[in-house]
């Protein structure tokens, strides 16, 4: 019992308070001066420590001097069972969101996930395997994670946990303490036994997940600090994280494996439209399909919005939707709507609102550049700043996947993001003091 108390980071006094026992009872049990503790006290201690069924049986067997296989006590009350709040008695938690309909492509990413998160039975002494799916808004990170998780669920017989961290939602991001509340509740920890501090909850989560083969899906993470307290402590669990940022801190310190998700290929984008609208309809208008794919920048969210509009108007030719994209300022008006999660403009805005003032100003200026590619020197000239002063905001834009550094000091930004930058620039005049004092250099000139 002492070992489990120390694992839960509790003092004897704290354990006694949680269990509703006198601290002298806890001390006497740990010192061995009580040879046969009352089973009611043992159950209270097991509940306060957040022990699973097997650990509770072990503690009860030690208390009674009997074999854990034949003791005639119920180890954990039904409402405190580790899985009672996640399904039928004895069922592990199955919290994955609904599977993805019409998922297309991503074969290489799926192969990498298969190779990385292949958790085999063992002693779990190695580190937790973490895969970080990162990429810009609308690129399909969550869809990839959920699709793979459903197909790999059999590898994790002790359950699959899911938390939407709301890192880039319009409201406040989910605090780690609240995320841990949900995870611990799913593992059967009673609300009254939850520790107060984030560190204590994180330690209890590591204890409750130890030895279990589980998948933890942490969706929409803001940064590495939001993720770290939610990581299991041993290698029997796997963690899948999605984020719009690069999570470089998690990669550097926790050894997370990055899986960078880019736009679909043209063939994958056409296939996605065919699956959603029917192969006969898309095959009848290949030129319109190609134009839709181009205006949507091959982003799955943009393609899904257009496909939904076309599906609701089965009698309309697809060229009608291609023309709408062509005539609406880069396509953003045609890719916006009342549903916040199916609105590309809102999705982009949730990324840009998190930028520092210098990075936000630089992003707005990108809309004024005539070419699709910029060098660091061209960006400095555009912003009328020394080259060294644009490196930090440029790195911030790259970390947020608002630009892509496809080669050293060479950056690109797809057309829909450029359209969003232009909209912001029109709504909020950019401070361009001194910008015309030096020529704006194109990427080809650097």
Q: What is the pLDDT of residues 412-441, one digit of tens each?
A: 888 888 888 888 888 765 454 444 333 333
Per-residue model confidence as pLDDT tens digits over 254-302: 999 999 999 999 999 999 999 999 999 999 999 999 999 999 999 999 9
Instruction: Give the DSSP letter of residue 34.
Output: -
Query: Tokens 């780690």 belong to which residue?
Result: 176
| Rounded average pLDDT over 113-137 | 82
Percent of the chain with pLDDT over 70: 87
Average pLDDT score over the chain: 83
The pLDDT confidence band at residue 45, using thresholds 50, 70 and 90, is: confident
Dihedral sign, Cα of residue 350, residue 354, residue 360, residue 366: negative
pLDDT at 1: 82
Q: Which of 377, 362, 375, 384 is nearest to 437 (CA)?
A: 384
> What's the pLDDT band for 131 if we cut at 50, 70, 90?
very high
Each residue of 86-102: pLDDT tens digit? Answer: 344 447 899 999 998 88
User: What pLDDT, on the 0 to 100 scale, is given for residue 409?
Assistant: 85
Residue percentage of the chain with pLDDT more than 90: 41
DSSP-based three-state secondary structure for 164: strand
Strand 238-243 relative to strand 373-375, pairing:
unpaired
Confidence band for 69, pLDDT divided at 50, 70 and 90: very low
pTM: 0.73
Which residues are within 8 A (CB) of 147 and not within 5 positions of it... i.e. 6 or more apart? Answer: 99, 100, 103, 106, 110
What pLDDT, on the 0 to 100 scale, is given for residue 225? 96
Burial of 70 from C-beta contacts in 10 A (0-12 / 13-18 / 19+): exposed
Per-residue pLDDT band at 205 (split at 50, 70, 90): very high
Euclidean distance between CA atoms 429 and 364, whole angstroms: 9
CA–CA separation, 205 vs 231, rounded Å?
A: 8
Rounded CA-CA distance 155/169 in Å is 31
Q: Which residues contact 266 (CB under 8 A, 6 or more apart)?
A: 290, 293, 298
Of 161, 141, 336, 172, nearest to 245 (Cα)?
141
Q: What is the pLDDT of residue 27?
A: 87
Task: Report the C-alpha gap between 390 and 408 in whole angstroms.
Answer: 15
Least confident of 60-64, 69-73, 292-296: 69-73
Q: State the average pLDDT over residues 346-358.
A: 87
């Amino acid at each position: 019992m002492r070992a489990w108390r120390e694992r839960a980071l509790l003092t004897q006094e704290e354990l006694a308070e949680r269990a509703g026992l006198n601290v002298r009872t806890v001390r006497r049990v740990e010192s061995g001066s009580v040879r046969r503790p009352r089973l009611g006290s043992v159950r209270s201690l097991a509940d306060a420590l957040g022990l699973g069924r097997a650990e509770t049986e072990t503690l009860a067997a030690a208390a009674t001097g009997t074999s854990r296989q034949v003791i005639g006590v119920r180890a954990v009350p039904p409402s405190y069972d580790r899985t009672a709040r996640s399904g039928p008695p004895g069922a592990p938690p199955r919290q994955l969101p609904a599977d993805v309909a019409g998922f297309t492509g991503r074969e290489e990413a799926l192969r990498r996930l298969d190779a990385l998160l292949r958790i085999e039975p063992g002693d779990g002494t190695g580190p937790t395997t973490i895969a970080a799916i990162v990429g810009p808004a609308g690129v399909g990170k969550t869809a990839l994670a959920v699709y793979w998780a459903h197909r790999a669920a059999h590898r994790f017989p002790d359950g699959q946990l899911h938390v939407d961290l709301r890192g880039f939602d319009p409201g406040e991001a989910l605090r780690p303490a609240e995320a841990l509340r949900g995870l611990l509740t799913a593992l059967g920890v009673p609300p009254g036994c939850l520790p107060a501090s984030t560190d204590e909850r994180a330690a209890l989560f590591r204890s409750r997940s130890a030895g279990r083969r589980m998948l933890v899906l942490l969706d929409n993470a803001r940064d590495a600090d939001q993720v770290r307290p939610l990581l299991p402590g041993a290698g029997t669990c796997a963690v899948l994280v999605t984020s719009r940022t690069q999570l470089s801190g998690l990669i550097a310190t926790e050894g997370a494996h990055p899986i960078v998700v880019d736009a679909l290929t043209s063939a994958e984008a056409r296939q996605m439209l065919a699956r959603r609208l029917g192969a006969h309809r898309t095959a009848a208008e290949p030129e319109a399909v190609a134009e839709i794919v181009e205006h949507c920048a091959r982003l799955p969210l943009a393609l899904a919005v257009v496909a939904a509009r076309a599906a609701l108007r089965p009698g309309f030719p697809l060229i009608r939707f291609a023309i709408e994209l062509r005539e609406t300022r880069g396509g953003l008006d045609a890719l916006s709507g009342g549903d916040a999660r199916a609105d590309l403009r809102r999705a982009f805005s949730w990324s840009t609102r998190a930028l520092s003032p210098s990075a936000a100003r630089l992003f707005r200026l990108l809309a004024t550049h005539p070419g699709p590619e910029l060098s660091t020197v061209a960006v400095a000239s555009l912003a009328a700043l020394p080259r060294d002063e644009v490196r930090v905001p440029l790195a911030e834009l790259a970390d947020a996947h608002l630009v892509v550094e496809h080669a050293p000091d060479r950056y690109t930004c797809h057309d829909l993001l450029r359209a969003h930058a232009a909209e912001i620039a029109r709504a909020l005049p950019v401070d361009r003091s001194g910008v015309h004092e030096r020529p704006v250099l194109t990427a080809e000139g650097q």
